[in-house]
């Protein structure tokens, strides 16, 4: 009679052990399910953060590559946006900036959209938005994540800074070009003024050479020492008057007498002292004195400059 009772007790103990084991297995299964769920969520979050980081780096590269074209930058950002959101296959994007629109080819107005204002100095310049073409499960902000909101806000700030940088650069280029044009115009005006000044000087010099100097030279031959001094002073003053117009070197020719100018012309064409003396019917010593006077009047007395070379660089007409 006692044996059946003992077996019943053992069966109950085994049943309790089985129940306890099943409960442990169920708890382990739930724990593993939770781990897999958390792991999937973490993996998904990591993928989303990776897409956002890729978007930020791609935008930076885009701005560097098209640093002078805001249109290309904004259109490039629009093309990058859908792939950075959670459901890229049904996402579209658009940027409105200062009255211009940049959008993906599949863009359509949608009730499921995430939008950020583009503002500067308290003034709204436009918007940047990402939209889904189909309804999706509700998350942090409709079907969108809070991290996606942060990315959208960051991009709106980046757009403003990029637009300001490009506008400043273009303004500097415009001002630089205006300054260059003004300098070129000023240079042209100065060149014309110098040319006109030289023409006036040459005209004055020609009149002095043709009219005044021959008369002055003729007068000097019949003047006493005091009068000759005044005549020389007058000649030097005439040179000073013409000098600012035609330059010191050319003006210095006006101080030469007609005889010296003639000898200069012979020297310029390579005639030696002896031949000049024979042509002029004077002694070689007289020619040498003329050469010394010429060098003195041209400021070459203490210079090693060759008189022939110097004269060939000056008009003697």
The pLDDT score that the predictor gives to residue 71 is: 94
Show contacts of 54-62: CB within 8 Å, 24+ apart. Answer: 54/84, 55/80, 55/81, 55/83, 55/84, 55/151, 55/155, 56/151, 56/154, 59/155, 59/158
Query: Chain-wide mean pLDDT for the chain?
Result: 83
Residue 282 has pLDDT above 80, yes or no: yes
Counting residues of the chain whose pLDDT is more than 70, the rounded percentage is 86
The predicted pLDDT at position 6 comes to: 53
Lowest average pLDDT, out of 7-16, 54-63, 194-203, goes to 7-16
Q: Are 254 and 242 in contact (CB under 8 A)?
A: yes
Domain 45-167 bears CATH identifier 3.30.70.120: no
The beta strands (E) that lie in the chain are given as: 91-97, 100-103, 112-120, 123-132
Quote the CA–CA distance of 263 and 276 in Å, as a whole number.
7
Which of 72, 163, 150, 165 lies closest to 116 in space, CA to CA? Answer: 150
Please report which confidence band the pLDDT of residue 45 belongs to, taking 50, 70 and 90 as the band edges: low
Query: Do residues 142 and 114 touch, judged by C-beta distance below 8 A?
Result: yes
Tokens 């050479």 sit on residue:
209
- 3-class state of residue 282 by DSSP: coil
pLDDT category at 295 given cuts 50, 70, 90 is confident
Specify the pLDDT at position 92.
Answer: 97
pTM: 0.53
**CA dist 212 → 200, 209, 250, 264, 268 (Å):** 17, 6, 17, 20, 24
Q: In this structure, what DSSP letter does residue 144 have?
A: B
Which range has the worst mean pLDDT, 53-57, 170-174, 226-230, 287-291?
A: 226-230
Residue 76: partners with Cβ closer than 8 Å, 6 or more residues away: 59, 62, 66
CB atoms within 10 A of CB 124: 10
Higher pLDDT, 45 or 136: 136
**Which pLDDT band holds residue 314 (cuts at 50, 70, 90)?**
low
pLDDT at site 128: 96
Q: How many C-beta atoms lie closer than 10 Å to residue 123's C-beta?
A: 7
Is residue 171 very low, low, confident or very high in pLDDT (cuts 50, 70, 90)? very high
Weakest-pLDDT range from 28-37, 111-120, 130-139, 175-184: 28-37
Report yes or no: 20 and 46 within 8 Å, Cβ to Cβ: no
pLDDT of 103 strictly over 80: yes
If you average pLDDT over residues 107-116, what whole number do you get?
94
Q: Which of 184-198, 247-261, 297-311 has the lowest mean pLDDT?
A: 247-261
Nearest to 98 by CA among 72, 118, 121, 69: 118
Over residues 214-229, the mean pLDDT reads 76
Question: pLDDT value at position 44?
Answer: 63
pLDDT digits (tens, 9 = 90+) for 7-44: 566 778 778 888 887 888 888 888 887 777 776 666 56
Task: Classify 129 as helix, strand or coil.
Answer: strand
Q: Which pLDDT belongs to residue 204?
A: 78
SS3 141: strand
Residue 307 to residue 317: CA distance in whole angstroms: 17
Whether 308 shows a pLDDT value over 70: the answer reads yes
Domain parsing of the chain, residue ranges: 45-167, 182-312
Closest CA to 107 of 83, 125, 133: 133
Q: What is the mean pLDDT of residues 196-213?
A: 76
| Higher pLDDT pick, 217 / 115 | 115
Under a CB-based contact definition with an 8 Å cutoff, are residues 143 and 132 in contact? yes
More confident residue, 153 or 209: 153
């Amino acid at each position: 009679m006692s044996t059946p009772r003992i077996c019943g007790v053992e069966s109950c103990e085994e049943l309790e052990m089985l129940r306890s084991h099943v409960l442990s297995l169920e708890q382990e299964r739930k724990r593993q399910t939770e781990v897999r769920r958390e792991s999937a969520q973490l993996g998904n979050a990591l993928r989303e953060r990776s897409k956002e980081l890729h978007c930020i780096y791609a935008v930076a590269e885009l701005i560097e590559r098209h640093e002078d074209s805001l249109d290309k930058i904004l259109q490039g950002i629009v093309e990058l946006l859908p792939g950075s959101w959670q459901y890229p296959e049904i996402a579209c994007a658009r940027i409105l900036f200062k009255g211009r629109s940049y959008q993906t080819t599949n863009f359509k107005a949608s009730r499921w959209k995430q939008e950020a204002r583009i503002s500067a100095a308290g003034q709204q310049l436009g918007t940047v938005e990402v939209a889904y073409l189909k309804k999706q499960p509700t998350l942090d902000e409709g079907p969108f994540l809070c991290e996606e909101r942060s990315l959208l806000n960051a991009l709106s700030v980046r757009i403003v800074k990029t637009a300001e940088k490009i506008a400043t650069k273009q303004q500097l280029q415009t001002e630089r070009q205006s300054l260059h044009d003004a300098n070129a115009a000023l240079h042209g005006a100065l060149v014309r003024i110098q040319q006109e000044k030289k023409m006036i000087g040459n005209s004055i010099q020609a009149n002095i050479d043709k009219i005044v100097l021959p008369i002055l030279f003729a007068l000097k031959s019949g003047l006493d020492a005091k009068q000759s001094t005044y005549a020389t002073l007058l000649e030097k003053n005439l040179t000073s008057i013409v000098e600012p117009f035609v330059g010191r070197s050319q003006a210095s020719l006006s101080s030469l007498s007609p005889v010296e100018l003639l000898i200069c012309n012979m020297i310029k064409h390579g005639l030696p002292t002896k031949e000049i003396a024979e042509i002029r019917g004077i002694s070689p010593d007289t020619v040498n004195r003329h050469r010394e006077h010429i060098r003195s009047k041209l400021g070459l007395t203490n210079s090693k400059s060759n008189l022939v070379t110097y004269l060939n660089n000056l008009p003697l007409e």
